[in-house]
Structure 1
Amino acid sequence: MKTSLQLLILSISLHLIAGAAADDIRHEPAVVASPADDYIAICGWEFDTDGGGYSTCSVDLNGDGLKDHLFANASTSGTGGQAATVYLGRKDGQFTRIGTLGHGAIATEALSTGATLLHCSWNGGGGNSAITTYLISNQGLMQIDNIQGKWNDEAYQKKFAHVFASPLKAEYRFVATQTAFKSGEK
């Protein structure tokens, strides 16, 4: 029998898969000149036209010394976080949109092969939690692991503490925007 967290994660996964299948380009890798302009173009219809906007932060996710950007719809994520579209910085000054993921705490792990893992926590309510691990590349985000647990489980707490011992500080800032779209338009 599936736990409520497993059902929640399955529901979120199916929602993300359905979104990607429904031509949700947030999940499609693309090279862009301006992450903010791209994010507004692909997600602007979600913003509340009366003072809505998005939250953004800059952080080096893949350890290449270049600033990467996370963008979250502020109307659905408060001051940022929870679901973010990821843009990796490139040496030519452009960015690669690699996908959208859910996160609370985030941490990276450099592998000896030169690849980078991104660990994201996700709280499902009722004491349920998950740690999802992605392989980061310019070809997109590839989920490679998902550990589920409860906050009152000592073994899960130890695993969480180990994975997020050195979390990235994703300090989101709110950016007010007025999109060209009216409520209900896409």
Structure 2
Amino acid sequence: MSANLEQAKEIIQVSEATGRTLSVMQNRRYDANIRALREMIQFGTIGKPGMVNADFFIGPHFGGFRELMDSPLIVDMAIHTFDQARFILGADPVSVYCHEFNPTGSWYQGNAAAICIYEMSDGSVFCYRGSWCAEGASTSWESDWRITGEKGTAIWDGIGALTRKSLLQALIIKKIIHEPIMILIISRKKVIRV
């Protein structure tokens, strides 16, 4: 909604002055697959998460205002992935390091790529790598996810469907074979392997 704190304060002032309601909704929290990842964490399927990674590499040629923005990836797109990580973990960032840059070959005026490392309130670390000027070998718009826990790892490519049934199957198989490490892979071909 704003690119900096001053703009955010101005939006609040306008809302208060006009008596209009100001609200923010992070709509990508409601994606069924993101909710399934959150449930998997809540159920303890992979144990306590220690590290979460999300990779986002797409090269859209939008034209227009995005190509003129100072920080198009961070301001216009990455915020959704950042919020999804908060939602999946049920934790908030306590510190962040971000290196934002504009790689060779970029058609954006501002920085169209970033590497961000968040220390989360639950002790886990969230790592984000992204680019809006990545030609070829694109990820999905939902990112490629890897969540590493104390008992296993969950991987989701942002395309295949995570369902409660697939998560329950993973739990059942884990209990039957007493396997301490469980890997749930949802591939681009929508094949589930546990």
Report the structure number with the largest CA radius of gyration: 2
**TM-score calculated relative to the size of structure 1:** 0.28
**TM-score calculated relative to the size of structure 2:** 0.27
Query: Which structure: greater helix fraction?
Result: 2
